[in-house]
Amino acid sequence: MEPEKKKMIGSNLVRQTDSSPTMVSGNSSYNYANNSSVQRKMTDVMKPRIEELIAKKLDLGFGGDTFRVADLGCSIGPNTFLNVEHIVQQVRHKYQTMSPPSSLPEFQVFFNDQINNDFNALFRSLPPERDYFAAGVPGSFYTRLFPKSFLHMAHSASSAHWLSRVPTEVVDRGSPAWNRGMIHYGFAPKPVEDAYRVQFRKDMGGFLKARSEELVSGGMLVLVMSGVPDGMHHSETQFSSVLSCVNLSLLDLVRQGVLEEDQLDNFNLPIYFPHPWEMRELVEENQCFSCIELEVVSPESTWLQQGGVGLRGWAVAMRAGMEELFARHFGGEEILDRIFDGASQKIAERAEVIMNTKCKELPLLYVALQRK
């Protein structure tokens, strides 16, 4: 999985294995903590499923006096703590209903993200009344992060659809998969989509291998990521339609001479939304996990219900999540304003079309696995 350590235009390789961005932090109006309502909705929708998973499937026969949880791709903001606090609460409840209170373990939570994540901001905002010990683990979750048979539960939300790198073929002018003038595979030719799929398989294969070594037998792995229902093409999702508006804004800036054509041709987003069948194949190939649940969940979105006005919120949310990628490649605040203001205008102009895409929800792929 480790790509060659070199500068690759458009891939935002902050370090050798990380292409996905860290979220905007600090006091910016686009900071992730204040623009992560979609992720909060994901957390709320998944709570009942995780409660049921822990109650019915989590094996507490580990022994030892410490229960260890990893939050992989934690980013920053309140959603991080909501996820792990809910897990700790549910595991604690299961211990209390099955064992005398004196046998309760201590809880240790490991917050993982890339080395350039704002861990200082994360730990400054730790809940003071938390009932777990907290530690940070910087590094790519596509590689090993913990000792063997160390974790009892690993959780990742809104992170595993980020690739470790942009597929090299899509920025190679001599490749059939060269993604000229486009930043994503949603409406691109099939070779581009195939290149993204191959990269996802490589990354997720590495992710599952690493977790299979780190989790104890009977330990749980929970993944919640953006996905696409089986039988549906990526171009039929609302996300692809909205992202195409960002692409159109960039094309306008090229035509206006603000950006060079090569700048656009060399930029692609390192993100891939898998179908359930793709994840199922990877789990079966890994052979170390029993699949408890693997399904697409489609939470209702208030943005979708609000039409064009709400859809323009996508531009703000995308900027909070992707600003670092765009800034490293295209420039600073002024150019970012032009890119995302233009995208917001395109979204407003195409609101009716976007609202009528085949996939009108924000589908999530929920994967619950148990280490054999």
Q: What's the CATH number for 32-371?
A: 3.40.50.150
User: Collapsing DSSP states into helix, strand and coil, what is residue 133?
Assistant: strand
Residue 359 clears pLDDT 80, i.e. is over it? no
**pLDDT at residue number 15:** 29
Give the mean pLDDT of 309-329. Answer: 78
Quick one: which of 150, 151, 120, 53 has its CA closest to 369? 53
At 79 the pLDDT is 78
The per-residue pLDDT of the chain, averaged, comes to 86
Tell me the whole-structure pTM to 2 decimals: 0.87
Residues 6 or more apart in contact with residue 239 via CB below 8 angstroms: 186, 226, 273, 362
pLDDT at 356 over 90: no
* Least confident span in 38-47, 226-235, 302-311, 361-370: 302-311
Share of the chain above pLDDT 90, in %: 66
pLDDT band at 302 (very low <50, low <70, confident <90, very high): very low
pLDDT greater than 80 at residue 77: no
Helix (H) or strand (E) holding 277: helix 276-286
Inter-residue contact 110 to 146 (CB < 8 Å): yes
Element (H, E) at 268: none
Q: How confident is the model at residue 38 (pLDDT cuts 50, 70, 90)?
A: low
- Report pLDDT for 63: 78
Do 166 and 19 contact (CB within 8 A), yes or no?
yes
- What gap in Å lies between CA 40 and CA 62, rounded to an integer? 31
At 40, the pLDDT band (50, 70, 90 cuts) reads low
Q: Is 163 helix (H, G, I), strand (E, B) or coil?
A: coil
Q: What's the pLDDT tens digit per position in 132-155?
A: 999 999 999 999 999 999 999 999
pLDDT confidence of residue 8: 27
pLDDT in tens, 94-126: 998 886 765 889 999 999 999 988 999 999 999
How far CA 279 is from CA of 64, 155, 239, 343, in Å, comes to 32, 16, 20, 32
Query: Which residue's structure tokens are 């006091």?
Result: 27
- Are 12 and 324 in contact by the 8 Å Cβ rule? The answer is yes
More confident call, 295 vs 304: 295
Backbone phi, psi, residue 367, to 5°: -125, 120
Residue 131 CB-density burial (10 A; 0-12 exposed, 13-18 middle, 19+ buried): exposed
* Domain positions in the chain: 32-371
